[in-house]
């Protein structure tokens, strides 16, 4: 019987790789990095065969010429390798990935896109670098559109997580499957709404997103400069509340937000919390354990790590289960 053995939610930032020495709050940075190590050790102890890796893409694998809401990598998966993250082919559990893609279409009403040659960036490879370091696991990469509106609603992301859970548990065999949600917490990136760019920098960014399919590296130097020049905009109060939901098994409460409301309270980068929400739904929203929360203005992001372990979760009452599924 296929099992779901662990869930991990973790923020990512390439500034952790490229600007570690310039980081002022080194104590916070070290606590976050140590928490990633703890989560990595928890994954190793869970002995997964496969990791469903839910993440975003920052216009290095998807462009404005075609952006699906959800895409499953079903064969080749290639990491772009920007900013010190892993580069090159990643191992894919092709059998499970194809099964999930088919099951979601035929049984769950989710017409997910699929890719037989998926390019991921640090929205997922940051997790490969720090959470899967040294682990012999295959991936089922799932990319969620969190940056090019219209975005899939939070409620639909939660329902997709539950549908994938049902499909994984019905998969023949005895796979041990872990889930990672990579992204968030609160942060605001100097990225425009592509439909209405204002000023030279925003017009450049939209041009990069539209024209970068064959030459994304040509745009990265100026993209990096624009990001480095941005002022941090974090909301630690929101982050604390969200992590408390994770600890109480209430991450589904994020669906109370519309996309616009979430951006207003936690920034456009917080749309990545869809990945945590999907992960939590895949773990049936069991109560989790917070390993770290560190507001990192130098990295423009609220950095959090949490683990959801079915072996440690208290038994749920039927009323609680019904509440989560309503």
- Catalytic center residues: 122, 187
- What is the distance between the alpha carbons of residues 118 and 204, in angstroms, rounded to a whole number? 25
- What is the distance between the alpha carbons of residues 94 and 96, in angstroms, rounded to a whole number? 6
DSSP-assigned beta bridge partners for residue 119: 78
What is the DSSP track for 48-67? -SEEEEEE---SSS-BTTB-
Tallying the residues shown for the chain, one arrives at 326
Q: For the chain, how far is it from start to end, CA to CA, in angstroms? A: 27
Q: Reduced to 3 states, what is the DSSP secondary structure of residue 172?
A: coil
- What is the distance between the alpha carbons of residues 148 and 170, in angstroms, rounded to a whole number? 33
Give the other-Cβ count within 10 Å of 81's Cβ. 15
């Amino acid at each position: 019987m296929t099992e779901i053995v662990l869930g991990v939610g973790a923020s990512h930032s390439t500034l952790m790789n490229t600007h570690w020495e310039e980081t002022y709050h080194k104590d916070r940075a070290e606590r976050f990095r140590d928490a990633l190590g703890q989560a990595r050790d928890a994954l190793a102890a869970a002995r997964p065969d496969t990791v469903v890796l839910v993440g975003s893409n920052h216009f290095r694998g998807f462009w404005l010429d075609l952006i699906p809401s959800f895409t499953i990598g079903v064969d080749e998966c290639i990491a772009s390798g920007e900013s010190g993250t892993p580069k090159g082919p990643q191992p894919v559990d092709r059998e499970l990935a194809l099964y999930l893609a088919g099951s979601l279409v035929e049984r769950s009403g989710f017409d997910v896109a699929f890719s037989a040659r998926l390019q991921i960036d640090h929205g997922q490879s940051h997790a490969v670098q720090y959470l899967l370091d040294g682990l012999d696991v295959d991936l089922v990469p799932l990319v969620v559109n969190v940056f090019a509106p219209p975005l899939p609603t939070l409620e639909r992301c939660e329902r997709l997580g539950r549908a994938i859970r049902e499909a994984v548990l019905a998969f023949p065999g005895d796979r041990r499957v872990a889930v990672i949600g990579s992204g968030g917490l609160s942060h605001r990136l100097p990225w425009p709404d592509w439909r209405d760019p204002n000023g030279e920098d925003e017009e450049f960014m939209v041009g990069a997103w539209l024209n970068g399919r064959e030459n994304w590296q040509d745009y990265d130097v100026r993209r990096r400069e624009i990001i480095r020049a941005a002022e941090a905009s974090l909301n630690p109060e929101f982050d604390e509340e969200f992590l408390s939901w994770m600890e109480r098994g209430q991450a589904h409460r994020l669906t109370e937000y519309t996309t616009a409301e979430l951006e207003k309270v936690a920034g456009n980068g917080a749309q990545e919390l869809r990945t945590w929400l999907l992960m939590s739904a895949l773990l049936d929203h069991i109560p989790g354990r917070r390993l770290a929360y560190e507001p990192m203005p130098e990295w423009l992001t609220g950095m959090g790590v949490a683990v959801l372990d079915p072996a440690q979760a208290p038994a749920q009452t039927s009323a609680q289960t019904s509440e989560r599924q309503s």
